[in-house]
A and B are shown apart, each in its own frame.
Chain A
Amino acid sequence: MTSKPTFRDEIANLLYASQGSPTNACIQCGTCSGTCPVANYMDQTPRRLIGMINANLKEDVLDCNTYWFCASCYHCTVRCPADIDIAGVMYAIKRYSIWNKTYREDLVGPRFSEAFMKTVIRSGRSYEPLLAPTYMFHFGPKEFFNEAVNASKMMLKGRIPVLPPRIKRLDNFKNMVKKIIPLGENS
């Protein structure tokens, strides 16, 4: 019988279809951290995070902001000499933290993702003004004010739509989604 998977194995299982190498191929060279434009703001740099995954430090990995601060620019992935899809690893931990609700309460990222997805599933298109109220409550007062000022400036320049857009064949679109995520018996 196979032994119980470690946290590193769990991440590897999430990435079983990935083209990249598993995290244990990491040689801790730090190219990712040196490349990452957000590394300064992360609790743990990408190099450290991968080291922590390989050391099975599950709670510490899930507790840090690193993966939600990843901007998905793929620079680390492109440069990794061990061929690890590091941005893909970040995505995998994001999925893990949403599916298992282990993300930190103070982070806006997961709420934004959920709100964004919900808007698209309902209309086929994204729409900023509809999105904003769902996550802007998690902003500090300063960010909230900045965002509101910016939105009204853009509104004046005609850069924000007044009505939410939606696609024409929305029913087909929703049925398509249900074939992939089989939720929604009642709609």
Chain B
Amino acid sequence: MKKFAYFPGCSLEKMASSYHKSALETTKYFDIELQELDDWNCCGATTYFHLDEILANTLVARNLALAEKEGLDLVAPCSACYKNAYFTTKYFRKDPELAEHINFALEEDDLHFDAKIDVYHLIEIFVNDVGAEKIKEGVQNPLEGLVIAPYYGCQIERPGKGVPESEDPSYFEDLISAMGAKPAYFPERLRCCGGSLIMTSRVPALDMVKVLLASAERNGAHVIATACPLCQVNLECYQSAVNEEFGTDFNLPVLYFTQLLGLALGIAPDKLGIGAELVSAAPVFNKLLPKEAS
């Protein structure tokens, strides 16, 4: 059994609890244990960095230190949390003076971070540690007939890892194929959803959501799969606001990739948190039903 330290982040506590549930169910299926960090704090998404980057990195480092204390690599399901944890680890490795200063503050909580652990996004666990082959083997209900738009979002591929594939990744598509579904052609898949702007610059953020919904719909997607709670909430919960603002009539379900994977693995929908949607996921099930009836 493989074990990781798990940093759910604030949104997975309630707003995205279905992501939390489905992440735990699907990893368990492949014998991977996600051990939640004890007493983790908010990592600040993008907003701390507006005020003081040293303080921002300190708050991120506290969570990393909690994981390092357990001797485990860190997994974050939220792209913003992942980006922060990834960046802070990188800064600790490159800038020993910054690391020393932040460790001086971490002493107050009897913690220390040496950047010895690595940081992964949850989707990387399925792509690298489980792998498409094992996923294919595990699939009980192939999602045949379902066209899924793979929405990477901005921050998974943006920490500047220096890999050229960052401009044209395909692992999300491969994951969808492994579930037995068809990945939609989705040229906007790396475009930002405006999640960090929805509270502060409403119309631009809604416009960004509109572009993504229109692209997914135009390319025949039945559902958008996301790997980030901010993307999910933005694309789904603000869909009616988009319709009102721009006179559109989008009604496109948006589910976490772990929920769709869970369905393919034969895990019961309620265990995957399905039912908490504001845009009903019924069309997804309708696509899958005829096959089950036959």
Binding site for B on A (CB under 8 A): 17, 19, 37-38, 40-41, 65, 68-69, 71-75, 77-78, 91, 94-95, 98, 107-110, 112-114, 116-117, 120, 124-128, 135, 139, 143, 146, 150, 153-154, 157-161, 165, 167-169, 172-173, 175-177, 179-181
B207 & A40 in contact (Cβ 8 Å cutoff): yes
Range for the number of chain B residues in contact with chain A: 35 or more
Interface residues of B, dominant DSSP: helix
Q: How many angstroms from the CA of A139 to the CA of B198 in the assembled complex?
A: 12
Known: A75-B154, A154-B278, A177-B55. A159 touches B15 (CB 8 A): yes
A109 & B44 in contact (Cβ 8 Å cutoff): no
- Provide the residues of chain B in CB contact with A169, threshold 8 Å: 39, 109
Smallest Cβ distance from B208 to chain A, in angstroms? Answer: 5
Query: In this assembly, does B104 line the interface, its C-beta being within 8 Å of a C-beta of chain A?
Result: yes
Smallest Cβ distance from B233 to chain A, in angstroms? Answer: 8
- Provide the residues of chain A in CB contact with B196, threshold 8 Å: 71-72
With CB as the reference atom, state the residue of chain A lying closest to B94. Answer: A19
A78 & B160 in contact (Cβ 8 Å cutoff): yes
Smallest Cβ distance from B270 to chain A, in angstroms? Answer: 13
A112 & B47 in contact (Cβ 8 Å cutoff): yes
A179 & B108 in contact (Cβ 8 Å cutoff): yes
Query: In this assembly, does B59 line the interface, its C-beta being within 8 Å of a C-beta of chain A?
Result: yes
B194 & A143 in contact (Cβ 8 Å cutoff): no
Q: How many angstroms from the CA of A75 to the CA of B274 in the assembled complex?
A: 32
Indicate which residue in A41, A94, A160, A173 contacts B14 across the interface (CB closer than 8 Å).
A160
Q: How many angstroms from the CA of A98 to the CA of B17 in the assembled complex?
A: 34
- Provide the residues of chain A in CB contact with B17, threshold 8 Å: 158-159
B41 & A124 in contact (Cβ 8 Å cutoff): yes
Known: A71-B208, A109-B200, A120-B44. A180 touches B54 (CB 8 A): yes
B50 & A98 in contact (Cβ 8 Å cutoff): yes
Q: How many angstroms from the CA of A12 to the CA of B158 in the assembled complex?
A: 23
A150 & B238 in contact (Cβ 8 Å cutoff): yes
Q: How many angstroms from the CA of A112 to the CA of B167 in the assembled complex?
A: 31
Indicate which residue in B40, B47, B102, B155 contacts A113 across the interface (CB closer than 8 Å).
B47
Q: How many angstroms from the CA of A107 to the CA of B197 in the assembled complex?
A: 12
With CB as the reference atom, state the residue of chain A lying closest to B211. Answer: A37
Smallest Cβ distance from A47 to chain B, in angstroms? Answer: 18
Q: How many angstroms from the CA of A181 to the CA of B167 in the assembled complex?
A: 38
Known: A38-B194, A71-B205. 4 other contacts (CB 8 A): A65-B201, A125-B10, A157-B276, A173-B62
Query: In this assembly, does B289 line the interface, its C-beta being within 8 Å of a C-beta of chain A?
Result: no
Most chain B C-beta atoms within 10 Å of own C-beta, residue among A108, A139, A157: A157
Tell me the residues in window 23-52 of chain B with beta carbons closer than 8 Å to chain A beta carbons.
Answer: 39-42, 44-52
Number of A-B residue pairs, CB cutoff 8 Å, is 177
Query: In this assembly, does B204 line the interface, its C-beta being within 8 Å of a C-beta of chain A?
Result: yes
Indicate which residue in A127, A161, A180 contacts B105 across the interface (CB closer than 8 Å).
A180
Smallest Cβ distance from A34 to chain B, in angstroms? Answer: 12
Known: A120-B41, A176-B109. A73 touches B51 (CB 8 A): no
Known: A109-B201, A112-B47. A172 touches B108 (CB 8 A): yes
B244 & A173 in contact (Cβ 8 Å cutoff): no
- Provide the residues of chain B in CB contact with A107, threshold 8 Å: 200
Tell me the residues in window 192-234 of chain B with beta carbons closer than 8 Å to chain A beta carbons.
Answer: 192, 194-197, 199-205, 207-208, 211
Q: How many angstroms from the CA of A19 to the CA of B162 in the assembled complex?
A: 13
Could you show 8 A-B contacts with beta carbons less than 8 Å apart? A72-B196, A91-B53, A95-B53, A110-B50, A120-B59, A143-B202, A153-B278, A160-B14
Most chain A C-beta atoms within 10 Å of own C-beta, residue among B51, B102, B196: B51
A74 & B197 in contact (Cβ 8 Å cutoff): no
Known: A37-B208, A108-B199. A126 touches B42 (CB 8 A): yes
Smallest Cβ distance from A165 to chain B, in angstroms? Answer: 6
Scan B132-160; emit 1 where CB is below 8 A from any A CB, else 0: 00000000000000000000001100111
Query: In this assembly, does B106 line the interface, its C-beta being within 8 Å of a C-beta of chain A?
Result: yes
Query: In this assembly, does B184 line the interface, its C-beta being within 8 Å of a C-beta of chain A?
Result: no
Known: A38-B208, A167-B39. A158 touches B202 (CB 8 A): no
B160 & A173 in contact (Cβ 8 Å cutoff): no
Q: How many angstroms from the CA of A40 to the CA of B237 in the assembled complex?
A: 24
Q: How many angstroms from the CA of A139 to the CA of B205 in the assembled complex?
A: 14
Q: How many angstroms from the CA of A113 to the CA of B194 in the assembled complex?
A: 16
Query: In this assembly, does B70 line the interface, its C-beta being within 8 Å of a C-beta of chain A?
Result: no
- Provide the residues of chain B in CB contact with A154, threshold 8 Å: 15, 237, 278
